Structure 1
Amino acid sequence: MTEEQDMADLSFEQALKELEQIVGRLETGDEELDKAIQLYERGDKLRQHCAARLDAAQERIEAIRLGADGRPTGTTPFAAG
């Protein structure tokens, strides 16, 4: 399995948990330089994956529009503010 496939199979929660573990390992300063670089690169990919998952979720959220009579008339995309 390639790293891209591995990443695509991770849920947001799994990716976030792994990212937190990587951050913890890097914060200790105990890793050798090469390993720290590998961890950082993996962490960056996990961060991007989490951001993409959040963006996709935000796009799916819709606000219901109500007409003058109070009945739903449609939906509008979620606007983060």
Structure 2
Amino acid sequence: MAKKKSEQFEDALSHLEKIVEKLERGDLTLEQSLEAFTEGIRLVQLCHKKLEEAENKVQTLLKNQQGEWSAVAFEPGATDATKE
């Protein structure tokens, strides 16, 4: 059975944190460090992709000019000019 996307994200993030801890300790060889760094980059890209997918699914409810609620796509950093 396939893992849920949120579990995949959490697993990837946890693995990434462990890689960062290993790299910060500084006791890896150069080759091990490069392998860990490469794996870390892959995990960052995976996490970024999962976050983008989640962001695209998020919608906010806003009142339109007629006072009715409607769903609009989430836009990071956008301010809501329709709030009173």
- TM-score normalised by length of structure 2: 0.76
C-alpha deviations, 1:2-44, integer Å up to 9, x for none?
xxxxxx9x61111000000000000111011111100000000
Aligned residue identity for 1:76: V
Give the SS at the match of 2:27.
coil
Q: Which residue of the other structure, out of 43, 56, 60, is the alignment partner of 1:59?
A: 56
Q: Structure 2: any 5+ residue segments left out of the alignment?
A: 78-84
Aligned residue identity for 1:14: D
- Report the number of matched residues: 72
Identity of aligned residues (%): 31
C-alpha separation between the residues in 1 aligned to 2:36 and 2:52? 24
Q: Which residue of the other structure, out of 8, 16, 19, is the alignment partner of 1:19?
A: 16
Aligned residue identity for 1:56: E
C-alpha separation between the residues in 2 aligned to 1:68 and 1:38? 55
Q: Which residue of the other structure, out of 56, 73, 78, is the alignment partner of 2:74?
A: 78
Q: Structure 1: any 5+ residue segments left out of the alignment?
A: 1-7
C-alpha separation between the residues in 1 aligned to 2:68 and 2:40? 46
**Greater per-residue helix proportion:** 1
- Say what the alpha-carbon RMSD is for the aligned residues: 1.7
Give the SS at the match of 1:51.
helix
Residue 42 of structure 1 aligns with which residue? 39
Deviation at 1:75, TM superposition (A): 1.6
